[in-house]
Amino acid sequence: MSSQEQFSTSTLEIYKKISKHVPEIEWKVHAPLIEKINKLKKQKNAVILAHNYQTPEIYHGVSDIAADSLALAVEAAKTSADIIVLCGVHFMAETAKLMSPKKKVLIPDMDAGCSLAASLTGEDVKLLKKKYPGVPVVSYVNTSADVKAETDICCTSANAVKVVESLKTDKVIFLPDQHLANYVAKQTKVKIISWKGSCIVHEQFSSKEIRDIREANPGIKVIGHPECPSDVLEACDFAGSTGGMIDYVKKNQPKKVMLVTECSMSDNVQADNPNVEFIKPCNLCPYMKKITLQKILDCLENETNEVLIEEKMAKAARQSVQRMAKIGR
């Protein structure tokens, strides 16, 4: 019996898709967990959401919906599931709870935080509003519920410029990512009052690194995320949200590409685009990597790590997300 024949039929097709990214010795551990999770979620009427930065065995192995943070929350709200398991970081689980207040939302590891979200609190926003009275607050969706509750409208990296200009004002407070703020400021006449937050993954990239990769890989297409520093984005061929980056690869099918973002996303996109060669500068998010198959199984079995938001805060935070949803992408 070959090693692949040892895997059950239910997981064999998954392994074939991601075998270039998951060693066979690891798959022997993953496969039984994937099988258990996929059976249990049906029994419990649960839906599993996986962010683009999750590892391939989670993203392709157990997720029902795989996307960026806002799309996960929006699509989960459309399902008839009783339970949502959010495979991502804590603010994403909060957003899912805001969009699905009657569903039980679980996160496999409560310590799966975010350096960007942690850079700002609701109290910080209150102080900014006192300093700049009457100036509307736009907050990136990558923020905690208490920040969203003090926010006029949220945005994503895909619709940030559109959201800012929808307010019909000459200035906005834009929180918390300083690099996304710079990206927006270059595309609008609206004055941007920013915060000094950043993502520990995207701030690691440098324009020199991109130049070196271009020199070693002639003709490569480099695609950056707006959370990167401005000099990095200027060195890229295209800049866009995680969804925009994925769409670029699918549509253009470049011979060789580099995604200037979290490493696992390259693995996941490559599995869906096998004819594209990916050059991977492997910057990992330590918070995303706290999510494992075993933790997913444990939290689903025991229904632990439920994400709850105080109702008054939830109501205010939900409004800022709903206002953004009306603007669209």
The answer to whether residue 90 is domain-embedded is: yes
- The reply to whether 264 falls in a domain is yes
pLDDT for 2: 45
153 and 250 in a single domain? The answer is no
State which residues form the domain around 83: 4-113+288-302
Nearest alpha carbon to residue 105 among 141, 128, 77: 77
For residue 166, give the amino acid letter: S
Instruction: Mark whether 167 and 246 lie in a shared domain.
Output: no
Domain end point (choices 175, 198, 221): 198
Give the position of tokens 């996304």.
Answer: 180
**CB contact at 8 A, 54 and 25:** no
Q: Are residues 26 and 93 in the same domain?
A: yes
Q: Walk along the chain (329 residues) and give the pLDDT tens digit of each residue.
A: 344 445 567 788 999 999 999 999 999 999 999 999 999 999 999 999 999 999 999 999 999 999 998 899 999 999 999 999 999 999 999 999 999 999 999 999 999 999 999 999 999 999 999 999 999 999 999 999 999 999 999 999 999 999 999 999 999 999 999 999 999 999 999 999 999 999 999 999 999 999 999 999 999 999 999 999 999 999 999 999 999 999 999 999 999 999 999 999 999 999 999 999 999 877 899 999 999 999 999 999 999 999 999 999 999 999 999 999 888 76
Same-domain check for residues 185 and 208? no
pLDDT for 3 equals 45
For residue range 105-124, list pLDDT tens digits in order. 999 999 999 999 999 999 99
Query: How many beta carbons lie within 10 A of that of residue 67, not counting itself?
Result: 19
Same domain for 234 and 183: no
How high is the pLDDT of residue 8?
67
pLDDT in tens, 158-168: 999 999 999 99
Is 212 inside a domain boundary?
Answer: yes
Q: Which 3 state secondary structure label does DSSP give 188?
A: coil
Residue with the two structure tokens 């105080």 = 310
Structural domains counted in the chain: 3
Report if residue 315 sits inside a domain: no
Looking at the structure, do residues 74 and 162 belong to the same domain, yes or no?
A: no
The pLDDT score that the predictor gives to residue 1 is: 37
The backbone torsions φ and ψ at residue 201, rounded to the nearest 5 degrees and listed phi first, read -80, -55
CA–CA distance from 138 to each of 90, 103, 320 (Å)? 20, 27, 9
Given a contact cutoff of 8 angstroms between Cβ atoms, the answer to whether 241 and 226 are in contact is yes
308: in domain: no
Q: Are residues 20 and 104 in the same domain?
A: yes
**Alpha carbon separation from 68 to 156, 241, 246, 295, 302 (Å, rounded):** 10, 9, 10, 21, 26
For the purposes of burial, counting CB atoms within 10 Å of the CB of 251, is it exposed (0-12), middle (13-18) or buried (19 or more)? exposed
Same domain, 99 and 10: yes
Residues 109, 16: one domain?
Answer: yes
- On whether both 190 and 172 belong to a single domain, the answer is yes
Is 239 found in the same domain as 146? no
Residue 326 has what pLDDT?
A: 87
Q: What is the distance in angstroms between the CA of the first residue and the CA of the last residue of the chain?
A: 50
Angle at 101 (CA atoms; ends 99, 102), nearest 5 degrees = 130
Q: CATH number for the domain including 14?
A: 3.40.50.10800
